[in-house]
Amino acid sequence: MLYSCRLADIPDCNSAEEVGECLLAMLMGERSIGPIHGVTSPLVPDQVYGRVERHPLEPDAVKAISELRGIRSLNIGETTLRDGSLGSVGRIRSLRSLDIGGTDVTDEGLRLIAGLDHLEWLRLRQTRVTDRGMTQIGGLSALRYLDISGCEITDNGIRELRRLPYLRLLRLADTHVTENGRAELRANVPRIDFDLR
């Protein structure tokens, strides 16, 4: 069982190696981090959060997290995450939810998470993802929620999402997707809702 925490809340852990050691010690019950966001132990199971507000997120820290078993939710958005670290994320086959919004991730990086067959929730908000990256997203067949707000996505890009039969909510604020593009997608995925805020 994994526990929810923010990497910024782990005391005395300054390097990627120390973060990995701290997480493992907590998971093995050898270390406690006390209350987080007003929630006391036991913490929410099956989640690891790496929300560190544009704090440098070293590839070794992502690799250490990816070596833990059973992670279902990973929030490493708003960090300095880059494409190269997504190879480690792509090895976390148990992931159901992934937040990499507000990072420097590009279309190339999405190729590295294309094998996350169980992923249901994905936030790419304000990344450098474009229409080209939607080809990879279109292969995530279990996806139910997708946030591409603030990305350089057009009607051509969301056509790739026709292959997502379970997609229920698509957040599109500040994209170049038109009403016609939304109508075309809805014709192929009739139960989809759009959030334009």
pLDDT tens per residue, range 152-161: 999 999 999 9
Q: How far apart are CA 140 and CA 96, in angstroms?
A: 11
- Domain presence at residue 129: yes
Q: How far apart are CA 52 and CA 74, in angstroms?
A: 13
Looking up tokens 């997502």, which residue turns up?
164
104: containing domain: 44-195
Q: What is the pTM of this model?
A: 0.77
Number of independent structural domains in the chain: 1
pLDDT tens per residue, range 150-190: 999 999 999 999 999 999 999 999 999 999 999 999 999 99
pLDDT tens per residue, range 68-110: 878 899 989 988 899 999 999 999 999 999 999 999 999 999 9
- Domain presence at residue 53: yes
- Domain presence at residue 79: yes
CATH number, domain with residue 80 = 3.80.10.10
- Domain presence at residue 39: no
Q: How far apart are CA 173 and CA 158, in angstroms?
A: 13
- Domain presence at residue 81: yes
- Domain presence at residue 32: no
